[in-house]
Amino acid sequence: MDPFSSSHTSGGGGSSSPPSTEALMDQVKHQLAQAYAEEFLETVRSKCFTKCITKPGSSLSGSESSCISRCVERYIEATGIISRALFSSPR
């Protein structure tokens, strides 16, 4: 399903106009944000699980829970540092 052609196939007999550039940009931004969030969660989940969960079971031990919390916090912090470095304008 092509999200950019959905307004053309909605059956308005040609009376509906194509989405504006601003609407398309908003849709792309939303899709990119969603993709980034999914990738971020999957990366954190896989890396922190591999690092912290030594004996998978029905519940987390206290040390596993602490490890997961620290791992996620460090990953979020590192991502923020990298983002600021990449998107800061040189002066």
d(CA 16, CA 48): 48
Q: Is the pLDDT of residue 13 over 60?
A: no
- Between CA 19 and CA 37 the distance in angstroms is 26
Token code pair at residue 28: 């792309």
In this prediction, residue 7 carries a pLDDT of 45
Taking CA atoms, 32 is separated from 19, 28, 29, 53, 75, in Å, by 18, 6, 5, 30, 20
Tell the residue number behind the tokens 């909605």, with chain if given.
10
Instruction: Give the residue-averaged pLDDT of 7-35.
Output: 75
Give the model confidence (pLDDT) of 25-73 as tens digits.
999 999 998 998 898 889 888 999 999 998 888 999 999 999 999 999 9
Please work out, in degrees rounded to the nearest 5, the angle formed at the alpha carbon of residue 44 by the alpha carbons of 54 and 37. 155
For residues 87 and 81, the model is more confident at 81
Position 15 scores a pLDDT of 54
Question: In the chain, what are the domain boundaries?
Answer: 42-49+61-91
